[in-house]
Amino acid sequence: MGEVSFKKKLKNIIGFKPWNLSLYEQAFTHQSRAKQVLKKALTNSNERLEFLGDAVLDIVIADYLFKKYPFKDEGFLTEMRSKMVNREILSKISAQMGLTELINMNTHITRNKAAARNAGGNALEALVGAIYLDVGYKKTYRFVVTKLIEQFIDVDGLMQERINSKGTLFEWAQRHKKQLEFDSQMIDETNRRKQFLSKVCIDGEEIAQAIQPTKKKAEQLASDKACEILKIE
């Protein structure tokens, strides 16, 4: 994609003129492409910007929720933030925004639908990181609120949904002043298939554990078991 075309599409997506175009080009450079063409995946792929964007997105969402719900407690705010920035939602938003077509990645990634969706979510986080570096926090906050939250996330609908077991566990721990911890780690990687063991601990005591192919699923299943053991509805 030519620079003029990329810049035009980018402006339509973010809603303002980008100043440091190289930041955004990096935000849309997948690791597979950086390794193949640039041979410098660490410094030229979007992984570092993704790391930064993930942190910035967390603080922006926390800021937004803190202002929107002035009388809600920490447990509610934490659960809402986790719902709004989970991987599935970010990947869907990325696809709806048309970010995937801007990502510079190898064809074997584009042919794999799951990998392409994941790359889209990562690129969205990297884009947030690039915006933060390019124009600062205030414009980043405005972008996240107006271009992501207001257009693609039904915040009030999420609030009305039944909180999942992990969120229920957090609320229960908050309410009863208990220390809730998840000890999650990869325990096996056979034939490139990862397995994660997640343990739920309350005040340092293990309550339940589960093994699943992803950390998120392991924590969710362990939370389901913990809620059942503790009789939390």
- The CA-atom distances, in angstroms, between 16 and each of 19, 53, 57, 139, 141 are 9, 18, 19, 9, 13
- Distances in whole angstroms, Cα of residue 206 to Cα of each of 69, 192, 198, 201, 212: 33, 29, 10, 4, 18
Q: 217: which 2 tokens?
A: 């699923």
Return the active site residues. 54, 125
Nearest in space to 153 (alpha carbons), one of 87, 92, 101 = 92
DSSP output for 175-190 = HTT--EEEEEEEEEEE
Token digits of residue 55: 């942190």
Nearest of 162, 153, 161 to residue 89 by alpha carbon: 153
Bridge partners of 198, per DSSP, are 184, 210
